[in-house]
């Protein structure tokens, strides 16, 4: 059985940066917390916890020490509270997310009603939205954008992991809503590149394994686009979940991983599949 | 034979205003010119000429007197020359066109590359474009916009008589061209409203007569949308062109006119068709 690992599997730039910041801080010791899970990988969060760095729901529970802002960013009022409490702040917000937050702040301050293209329940979107000082709407699709009210000046930004198609449809719907529409292309193409590679790989193999947190939106989407092409697609969080039965009659297996999946987990999965392959050849 | 005249036939707001300014100036006498034809109606231009107000190609030929800026606006360097020559300037630029010119100027000064959706040969577009101080492109369609180079910040405005569909396609194509895209909805809906009414009328009649200058883009388009629904559509400039043969077997005739068609011409056409109808009933 041949195993092909996608080139784009695993940590993106922002996740790599956030994880480095968190582990460095953990190594130094002291009273250190993350504001929410640092990235959407339960295994990384657990490792940090083992090193004494816990994830807090909000700043309310902290009075001293270091607070690490997660890759998805934080709501502006949480950050303000951290500043007020004179906590040491380590900002691990992905620079692309930071840009989206800044655009929303500037648009709001310049009198634009803001439309954020994304998932209203996602922490990144909740953070971005919090920077609006005026009206702000979250829409998940062009169909939702059609229902928006008429506005004067409209500013549009997107959750960094949105599909470009989605942004296009929302912009199209917004064009009839106001006299001016100002769009910032805040989508990070790491997601699109990863998905394109997964699609290509899925078309060349008999079985796909997608590795990443079940709470990771980009990993779930990766598994979806793969399954559309290769129905034998399995989304796992850890090597222990691999089932040898999945590989019956499989000649080539493709592997990819979400942007928040650490290398050590990918390596464990690779080893485990190699061992399953050896058993098959015996 | 029943005759139905479209409610929206004839002068739009900007043309009405420009014509009033020109005839008032003509009434006062003195050395007065228009910079290009005041509106796209050869008959109005001729009337003004009979009153002593000639249309000049450019300011170069003038040293004193009053210059009237046409409804489509003027190129910025022509205006500057008129100021330099201390001519009296009567600005009859349509306020909607003026807005588009101002947006282009501001966008350029703020570092945006500008995309103008429109017909590069039209005097309105040539005027709008002249206000750019940086890079500026004219595209007539989404297909043309696809060929635009990559840019940083992109500003988009439209010729006021463009179709909204066209603006949508260009914006869609521009979204992949830059990190920020700022769109000003400069389309005047008088054109769209007039076209919608013409379509509806064309579906209810046996014959359509569309009145307006052959050099008037909006009249030509009006005749096109009418002909798509009612092939018996005739585009004329004046009542003398009416042919009784057009009305053979016609029970209802619909009439509309472009934004630069004066009321007196519409009235002449109505009278002439009524007289043809009477002859038929004899």
Find the mean pLDDT for residues B225-232: 96
Q: What angle do CA A213, A216, A217 make, to 5 degrees?
A: 145
pLDDT on residue B279: 85
Residue B191 pLDDT > 90: no
Percentage of chain A exceeding pLDDT 70: 100
Using a CB–CB cutoff of 8 Å, tell me whether B184 touches chain A.
yes
From residue B141, give the alpha-carbon distance in Å to each of A181, B171, B227.
19, 10, 22
Cβ distance B185 to A168 less than 8 Å, yes or no, reads: no
Whether A281 has a pLDDT exceeding 80, the answer reads: no
A132/A211 Cα distance (integer angstroms): 35
Q: Does B183 touch chain A (CB under 8 A)?
A: yes
Under the banding of pLDDT at 50, 70 and 90, the label for residue A128 is: very high
pLDDT over threshold 70, residue B96: yes
**Contact yes or no for B182 and A181 at CB 8 A:** yes
* B178 and B198 assigned to the same domain: no
A46 lies in the same domain as A112: no
Which of B130, B156, B187 is the C-terminal boundary of a domain? B187
**B230-262 pLDDT tens trace:** 999 999 999 999 999 999 999 999 999 999 999
Do B226 and B252 have their domain in common? yes
Write the CB contacts of A270 (distance below 8 Å, at least 6 apart in sequence): A3, A5, A255
In this prediction, residue A192 carries a pLDDT of: 87
Distance from CA of B282 to the nearest CA of A (A): 52
> How far apart are the C-alpha atoms of B34 and B57, rounded to whole Å?
9
Using a CB-CB cut-off of 8 Å, the residues of chain A touching B172 are 168, 171-172
**Residue from the list A172, A176, A182 with its beta carbon closest to the beta carbon of B182:** A182
Cα–Cα distance list, A90 to A34, A38, A137, A245, B259 (Å): 9, 11, 29, 45, 63
Quick one: pLDDT at residue A262? Answer: 93
Nearest to B175 among A178, A180, A183 (CB): A183
Q: What is the pLDDT of residues B52-63, one digit of tens each?
A: 999 999 999 889
Q: Do A183 and B182 touch (CB under 8 A)?
A: yes
Domains held by chain A: number = 3
Band of residue A129 on the pLDDT scale cut at 50, 70, 90:
very high
Q: Does B168 touch chain A (CB under 8 A)?
A: yes
* pLDDT at B217 exceeding the cut of 90: no
Q: Is B99 on the interface with A (CB under 8 A)?
A: no
Q: How far from chain centre, in Å, is Cα B95?
A: 13
> Domain with B47 in it: what CATH number?
3.40.50.11270
**Burial B64-78, CB ≥16 within 10 A → b, else e:** eebbbbbbbbbbbeb
Query: Has residue A92 got a pLDDT over 80?
Result: yes
Cα B71 to Cα B260: distance, rounded to the nearest angstrom: 10
Q: Does the annotation flag B40 for ligand binding?
A: yes
Contact A179 B185 (CB under 8 A): yes
Query: Domain ends where: B93, B113, B137?
Result: B93
Q: Say yes or no: A194 and A276 in one domain.
A: yes
Residue B280 scores a pLDDT above 80: no
Give the model confidence (pLDDT) of B105-154 as tens digits: 999 999 999 999 999 999 999 999 999 999 999 999 999 999 999 999 99
Question: What is residue A67's DSSP assignment?
Answer: E
Give the residue-averaged pLDDT of B217-223: 91
Please return the burial class of B240, using the count of CB atoms within 10 Å of its CB with bins 0-12, 13-18 and 19+.
exposed
Q: In angstroms, what separates the C-alpha of A1 from chain B's closest C-alpha?
A: 41
The annotation status of A160 as a binding-site residue, yes or no, is yes
**Within an 8 Å CB–CB cutoff, is residue B150 touching chain A?**
no
Same domain membership, residue A276 and residue A248: yes
Q: State what percent of residues in chain B have pLDDT above 90.
A: 89
pLDDT of A61 reads 81
On the question of pLDDT at B207 being above 80, the answer is: yes
- Whichever domain contains A224, its CATH number is 3.40.1010.20
B174 marked ligand binding residue: no
Cross-chain Cβ contact A183/B176 below 8 Å? no
Determine the structural domain holding residue B40 and report its residue range. 13-93
* Residue A154 or residue A189, greater confidence: A154
Q: B219 and B263, same structural domain?
A: yes
Tell which of A187, A210, A231 closes a domain: A187
CB atoms within 10 A of CB B99: 18
Cβ pair A69, A22 in contact under 8 A: no
Residue range B84-113: average pLDDT? Answer: 97
Residues in chain B: 282
Among candidates A167, A171, A180 on the partner chain, residue whose Cβ is nearest the Cβ of B185: A180
A140: confidence class by pLDDT, cuts 50, 70, 90: very high
Contact assignment for B171 to A171 by CB distance below 8 Å = yes
Task: Give the pLDDT mean for B195-221.
Answer: 94
Same domain, B115 and B102: yes
Percent of chain B with pLDDT over 70: 100
* Interface check A189 vs B, CB under 8 A: no
The reply to whether A188 sits in an annotated binding site is yes
Mutate to test the interface with A, among B172, B183, B188 (most CBs of A within 10 A): B183
- No. of helices (H) and no. of strands (E), chain B: 10, 12
Give the pLDDT score at B239: 96
Backbone CA torsion sign across A160, A161, A165, A170? negative
Closest approach of A17 to chain B, Cα-based (Å): 23
User: Are A172 and B172 an interchain contact pair (Cβ–Cβ within 8 Å)?
Assistant: yes
Q: Is B218 annotated as a binding residue?
A: yes
The response to whether A103 counts as a known ligand-binding position is no
Q: Is residue A239's pLDDT more than 80?
A: yes
Residue in chain B lying closest to A168 (CA): B172
Q: State residue A163's pLDDT score.
A: 86
Contact of A153 with chain B, judged by CB distance below 8 Å, is answered with no
- Predicted pLDDT of residue A282: 67
ipTM above 0.90, yes or no: no
Active site residue A80: no
Do B268 and B210 lie in one domain? The reply is: yes
> Which of A50, A124, A144, A224 does the annotation list as catalytic?
A124
pLDDT at A40 over 70: yes
What pLDDT, on a 0 to 100 scale, did the predictor assign at position B282? 67
| Shortest CA distance from B172: residue in chain A | A168
Domain check: are A236 and A225 in the same one?
A: yes
Same domain (yes/no): B169, B214: no
Choose the closest CB to A184 out of B164, B180, B184. B180
Residues B126 and B196 in one domain: no
Same domain, A194 and A274: yes
């Amino acid at each position: 059985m041949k195993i092909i690992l996608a080139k784009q599997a695993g940590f993106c730039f922002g996740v790599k940066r956030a994880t480095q910041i968190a582990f460095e801080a953990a190594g130094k010791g002291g009273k250190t917390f993350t504001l929410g899970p640092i990235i959407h990988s339960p295994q990384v969060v657990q490792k940090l916890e083992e090193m004494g760095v816990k994830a807090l729901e909000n700043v309310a529970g902290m009075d001293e020490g270091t607070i690490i802002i997660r890759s998805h960013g934080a709501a502006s009022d949480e950050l303000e509270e951290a500043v007020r409490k004179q906590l040491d702040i380590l900002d691990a917000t992905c620079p692309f997310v930071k840009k989206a937050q800044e655009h929303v702040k500037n648009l709001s301050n310049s009198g634009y009603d803001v439309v954020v293209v994304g998932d209203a329940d996602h922490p990144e979107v909740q953070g971005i939205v919090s920077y609006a000082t005026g009206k702000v709407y979250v829409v998940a699709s062009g169909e939702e954008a059609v229902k928006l009210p008429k506005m004067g000046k409209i500013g549009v930004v997107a959750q960094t992991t949105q599909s470009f198609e989605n942004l296009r449809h929302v912009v199209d719907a917004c064009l009839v809503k106001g006299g001016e529409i100002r769009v910032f292309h805040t989508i990070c193409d790491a997601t699109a590149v990863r998905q394109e590679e997964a699609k290509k790989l899925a078309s060349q193999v008999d079985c796909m394994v997608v590795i990443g947190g079940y709470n990771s939106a980009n990993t779930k989407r990766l598994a979806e686009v793969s399954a559309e092409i290769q129905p034998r697609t399995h989304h796992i969080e850890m090597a222990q979940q691999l089932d040898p039965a999945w590989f019956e009659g499989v000649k080539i297996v493709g592997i990819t991983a979400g942007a928040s999946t650490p290398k050590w987990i990918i390596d464990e999965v690779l080893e485990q599949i190699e061992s399953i392959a050896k058993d098959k050849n015996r």
